[in-house]
Amino acid sequence: MFEVLESAKWISEASNRVKIDGQALVTLARDWVSKDVKVPVWDNVHHFVGGGADTVSYLLVLDSLNFCFWPAHKKARWEIQYGPESLSGYLALAASLKRAMESGVPITRADYLAGISPEGLQNIFAGQGDLQLMESRLGILRELGRVLQEDYEGEACGLVEAAEGSAVELIQLLAMQFESFRDVADYKGLQVFFYKRAQIFVADLYGTFQGKDWGAFNDMDQLTAFADYKLPQVLRHLGILEYEKDLARRVDTGILLEPGGLNEVEIRANTIWAVEEVRREMGRRGQDLRAFEIDGILWNMGQQDRYRERPYHKVRTIFY
């Protein structure tokens, strides 16, 4: 079993701040099966899709920076204008990088990333409001460019090819070679694993290339849900995740949680395990979806206002 799922199962069984409501979980699975719920198709509007090595590089940059889009206290939300659309959050990130490529900014070149300037990064994300952790984002891109130059002749596709068609191997390569992808925590004295951004890079490759070429992996069923702040918000709305009283107060009043703290780790782990239980329940009812596909359905639900009635938990972190 992939170590992320092992970690999630163990934490879910040991946690006392977050619990999973089994009946609410069954209700959701039954409803989805009855409606023959569909997996969202890959978004070609806001993402760069060129079909070649540049697309792999674009996705690696995208998922290296795929974290922390909520506004800091008393700061305006970061937004960009992309054609007729005003975008925020992840879609603004995807579109900003696509816009940069279309305007000739060489974000797919490892040498450019290794030496990217603060001004260059600010120009890529030009818009309104504030995107948090810009210094961290700068360091992540420089690390990305440096490692690609040193180990993969500057090519992100070389990194993907080194995994030899294994999603799990690619995730572990990312975590081993890039500190910014090493999404692990300590829970009651034991190391536990999440690897959110590494897993989503694999899923994005799979989605963009439709399971072929650089998106062809033989073990996509090993992926788990991607433990972020949007999925638990949706699962809590559905009654599947339940927070103990003090944690609920902290989340609902916008108090920052400690990165790697017990509250955060239990939210993330129970999110992963709840999705796994939904997957198993749907399978028992005759509809087989993989965890990352269920993640996509839940994430899309989270873009609807009705699933935003309760706030998401807030953590200043580079991992999601």
C-alpha to C-alpha distances, 230 to 74, 83, 193, nearest whole angstrom: 21, 26, 19
β partners of residue 77: 130
Instruction: Point out the residues that are catalytic.
Output: 228
Give the list of residues 6+ apart from residue 319 with CB closer than 8 angstroms, or none.
Answer: 67, 183, 194, 196, 197, 259
Q: What are phi and psi of 190, to 5 degrees?
A: -115, 145
Of the candidates 164, 184, 172, the one whose C-alpha atom is nearest the C-alpha of residue 11 is 184
H-helix or E-strand containing 100?
helix 89-102
Outline where DSSP puts E strands in 164-316. 184-187, 190-193, 241-243
How far, in Å, CA of 153 to CA of 165, rounded?
A: 20
How far, in Å, CA of 278 to CA of 29, rounded?
A: 6
The burial of 41, by beta-carbon neighbours within 10 Å (0-12 exposed, 13-18 middle, 19 or more buried), is given as exposed
β partners of residue 87: 80
